[in-house]
Chain A
Amino acid sequence: MLIALLILPLLAAVAAFVLPSDRWRAYLVPLGGALHFLVLAPLVVGPTVTSSGNWLVFDPLGKLVLSAISVLYLVCSFFVPGYLAHYNHRPNRFFVMAMLGFLSATSLVILAHHLGLMWVAMEATTLITAPLIYFNRNVKSLEATWKYLLICSVGIALALLGSFFLAYASIKNGLPSSLLFEDLVKMAPQLSRPWLHAAFALLLVGYGTKMGLAPMHTWKPDAYGEAPGIVGALLAGGLSNCGFIALLRVLRISQAGGDGAYAHEAMIAMGLVSMVFAAVFMVRQNDIKRMLAYSSVEHMGILVLGVGLGGEAIYGALLHLMNNAATKGVMFLAAANMHRTYGSKQIADIKGVLHRLPVSGALFIAGFFAITGSPPFGPFVSLFTILGQMMKSGRFFVAGLFLALLGVVFIGMGASVLAIVQGRPTALASASPDREKLWSTAPMVVLLAFVLVLGFYIPAPLQHLLEQGTAMLEVTR
């Protein structure tokens, strides 16, 4: 059944290649998303599934991340046919194929329990997203795609070197040559410590590049800024989380090898640095999509910070992954709607969104409050849990910095959000024939409802997964 998660989207991609009609082809994206979700749902609530040979394992961490991605993908996919119909002068064959391939490749990253296979899958996600970022086919999107591929190839090369180091850590001490995660975790106490140490550093940088942690985040504002909003949603809520889970897999080996303390401190430092970079660039940011990209840098930082802190903060980080994915979906789709109607994504050009696009405007404001950690939305709960652990473990400096940075982001982002939703729409926007439709608003409503519910109530199966995931990453410190 695990194979079906990889094959079904690929079959849909083949269908997209064969189908001659641009209009009907677009509907393959929601179809692929729905099939993926239908196969996934029973697997998530069931026990851990393992493929023959242990190369693919669907464990609690994988279940959390893949269900976040599958839900986000399914909801966002209903946006795609309308979006592509709007740009019907552009051929969409490769876009649709890449969208479906994205689902398959991200699933493989999450299911893979083999160091080499996970690396190959990660490389595949980089490839498959390049045509999505280049969809607008202009000089700017070309530059963004180029930077994305260039920086991510350096990251992926370093991740490969890190994987080599990890493999060498076992060869050096004459251990059986296995690259399966479960074997590596079991053998970890006998691994050569210096090589394990170096491997973690390289893998943190390599997969951290993919996550968009600062200072390797520089591709992110460009790529998110130039990609269509729907792609931004999937990159921020899907692809970044793939880098995160890869890091968690390696972290478990480090922890089992007795090198956890160093790994945790490195993650805390990296998380705080990402938050600082994001806060600096979010204040006075003049492009809404770039602003959201920096928000993604910030929240990826919060995820590694939470895991680095340990204890309840791991629970908080895993819950935050869900919250962040859904909220980013709301905000990127709203940004896509504004970009379409106003013909610009510059904050100076967008005015009076509440007037011109009432649903998108209202949801953008709600999304802003949610992502900055205001009650009653889900991120409030997850951020508060992480803060609680900081207090509990006596890290008052980290807690102070964390709160201060959240405050700076709130003010910086708030000024931009208020500037665009208030006022009177520009003449260009008023003249635009674009109207809010069900396809352009319903996905945002669903995602925001999800974020709101998570603020009050965590369903029992999710709670169970969060606890299991936390237990996998928790070590006595």
Chain B
Amino acid sequence: MVHLVDALLMAVIILNFVALGSSRIRSSVRVVGMQGVILGTLPLIVHHTVTWRGVVVAMLAVLLKGLVIPKMLEAGLHPSRAPREARPFVGFISSLLLGAVGTGLALLFAQTLPLAQAHTGLLLVPASLCNVMTGFWILTTRRTAIAHVLGILVLENGVFTFGLLLLDAMPELVEAGVLLDVFVGVFLMGILLKHIDRELSEVDIAAEPMTILREE
């Protein structure tokens, strides 16, 4: 069981690298969706006793993270518009290298954390740290609105991963994490991206940041 969990978490970490290195927004959306599917199924594997409640939460998480949110994001990507992150503040190669360094540090750092006996040696904590850092990196170095949403999703996947440690004792907190998805998914992207699309028809949201409001 532990091997399966670790293998899946390894996949999550590798997907972070794909997200860091790819300039095509569409593939980044897919990557984040795949991460969501893996993380959504993990509660069922990690959980010691499978309950109806657990199954419903896992299914909801997979549905939201893996299907609904990526579909909504892709719907926001107009085929006529630039499908690429054109000018990130930090290049893709540098981002990848920094990602590798960050992953190494996360693995080292997680070993020094005072974890409960049952949780030592698991990849859950380093994977969570990696995702949080990758999420912040994407948020700060990309310019487009969609990339920012992706950054939040990756960050949120990291938070969700840490929550898996609490699954047995406090399932309700992990469920709150799924609510965060509903929030980001439905409201931030579903509603607001549509408005942005309508309002800024002359400006391409996939290429231009929103920078009217600033201190002069």
Q: A146-B192, A150-B148, A150-B188 are in contact. Are A163 and B210 (CB under 8 A)?
A: no
Which of A130, A147, A158, A226 is in CB contact (< 8 Å) with B187?
A: A130
Contact B162 A164 (CB under 8 A): yes
By the criterion of a CB under 8 Å from any partner CB, how many residues of chain A are at the interface?
47
Q: A139-B212, A140-B212, A177-B169 are in contact. Are A154 and B152 (CB under 8 A)?
A: yes
Residue A82 at the B interface, CB < 8 A? no
Contact A161 B176 (CB under 8 A): no
Interface core residue of B145, B148, B169, B212 (most chain A CB under 10 Å): B169
Residue B155 at the A interface, CB < 8 A? yes
Q: A127-B187, A142-B199, A157-B180 are in contact. Are A150 and B165 (CB under 8 A)?
A: no
Contact B196 A146 (CB under 8 A): yes
Residue A19 at the B interface, CB < 8 A? no
Interface residues of B in 185-209 (CB under 8 A from A): 187-188, 192, 195-196, 199-200
Bound CA span A116–B155, Å: 19
| Interface secondary structure of B, over-half rule | helix
Interface residues of B in 152-182 (CB under 8 A from A): 152, 155-156, 158-159, 162-163, 165-166, 169-170, 172-173, 176-177, 179-180
B53 → chain A closest CB, angstroms? 15
Q: Which residues on A sit within 8 Å (CB–CB) of B114?
A: 172, 192, 194-195
B45 → chain A closest CB, angstroms? 19
Residue B115 at the A interface, CB < 8 A? yes
Q: A123-B183, A168-B166 are in contact. Are A157 and B173 (CB under 8 A)?
A: no
Q: A157-B152, A157-B155, A164-B163 are in contact. Are A171 and B116 (CB under 8 A)?
A: yes
Interface core residue of B179, B183, B200 (most chain A CB under 10 Å): B183
Chain A, 36-58, contact with B by CB distance < 8 Å: what is the 0/1 string? 00000000000000000000000
Bound CA span A213–B184, Å: 23
Interface residues of B in 120-158 (CB under 8 A from A): 132, 139, 145, 148-149, 152, 155-156, 158
Q: Which residues on A sit within 8 Å (CB–CB) of B169?
A: 167, 171, 177
Q: A139-B199, A144-B213, A161-B159 are in contact. Are A156 and B180 (CB under 8 A)?
A: yes
Chain A, 145-157, contact with B by CB distance < 8 Å: what is the 0/1 string? 1110110011011
Bound CA span A157–B132, Å: 10
Contact B199 A147 (CB under 8 A): no
Interface core residue of A116, A145, A286 (most chain B CB under 10 Å): A116
Bound CA span A156–B155, Å: 11
The chain A residue with its CB closest to the CB of B172 is: A116
The chain B residue with its CB closest to the CB of A161 is: B159
Contact B116 A153 (CB under 8 A): no
The chain B residue with its CB closest to the CB of A138 is: B199
Which of B156, B213, B216 is in CB contact (< 8 Å) with A157?
A: B156
Contact B196 A142 (CB under 8 A): yes
Q: A161-B132, A168-B165 are in contact. Are A222 and B213 (CB under 8 A)?
A: yes
The chain B residue with its CB closest to the CB of A119 is: B176
Bound CA span A150–B114, Å: 32
User: Looking at chain B, what size class is its interface with the partner chain?
Assistant: 35 or more
Q: A160-B177, A167-B170 are in contact. Are A153 and B183 (CB under 8 A)?
A: yes
Q: Which residues on B sit within 8 Å (CB–CB) of A142?
A: 192, 195-196, 199-200, 210
Bound CA span A328–B19, Å: 44
- Number of A-B residue pairs at CB separation under 8 A: 115
Contact A123 B162 (CB under 8 A): no
Q: Which residues on A sit within 8 Å (CB–CB) of B166?
A: 164, 167-168, 171
The chain A residue with its CB closest to the CB of B155 is: A157
Q: Which residues on B sit within 8 Å (CB–CB) of A126?
A: 183
Interface residues of A in 151-197 (CB under 8 A from B): 153-154, 156-158, 160-161, 163-165, 167-168, 171-172, 174, 177, 179, 192, 194-195
Q: Which residues on B sit within 8 Å (CB–CB) of A147?
A: 210, 213
Bound CA span A172–B210, Å: 44
Q: A130-B187, A172-B116, A225-B213 are in contact. Are A123 and B179 (CB under 8 A)?
A: yes
Q: Which residues on A sit within 8 Å (CB–CB) of B188?
A: 149-150, 153
B147 → chain A closest CB, angstroms? 11
Q: Which residues on B sit within 8 Å (CB–CB) of A436?
A: none
Q: Which residues on A sit within 8 Å (CB–CB) of B170?
A: 116, 167, 171, 177, 179
B125 → chain A closest CB, angstroms? 10
Q: A146-B210, A153-B183 are in contact. Are A179 and B173 (CB under 8 A)?
A: yes
Q: Which residues on B sit within 8 Å (CB–CB) of A134?
A: 195
Identify 28 residue pairs between A and B in the complex whose beta-carbon atoms are under 8 Å apart, listed by A's number. A119-B176, A123-B183, A127-B187, A130-B187, A130-B192, A142-B192, A143-B212, A144-B213, A145-B192, A146-B192, A146-B210, A153-B184, A153-B188, A154-B152, A154-B155, A156-B180, A156-B183, A157-B156, A160-B159, A160-B163, A164-B162, A164-B173, A172-B114, A172-B115, A174-B116, A179-B170, A194-B113, A195-B114
- Interface residue ranges, A against B (CB under 8 Å): 115-116, 119-120, 123, 126-127, 130, 134, 138-140, 142-147, 149-150, 153-154, 156-158, 160-161, 163-165, 167-168, 171-172, 174, 177, 179, 192, 194-195, 221-222, 225-226, 281, 286, 290
- Interface residue ranges, B against A (CB under 8 Å): 113-116, 132, 139, 145, 148-149, 152, 155-156, 158-159, 162-163, 165-166, 169-170, 172-173, 176-177, 179-180, 183-184, 187-188, 192, 195-196, 199-200, 210, 212-213, 215-216
> What are the 10 tightest A-B residue pairs by CB atom distance, in nearest-first order?
A177-B169, A143-B210, A222-B213, A161-B159, A172-B116, A116-B176, A171-B169, A164-B162, A177-B170, A149-B188
Task: List 17 additional contacts besides A142-B195, A164-B166; criterion CB under 8 Å.
Answer: A116-B173, A123-B179, A123-B183, A127-B183, A130-B192, A138-B199, A142-B192, A149-B192, A150-B148, A153-B184, A154-B152, A164-B173, A172-B114, A177-B169, A221-B215, A222-B213, A286-B216
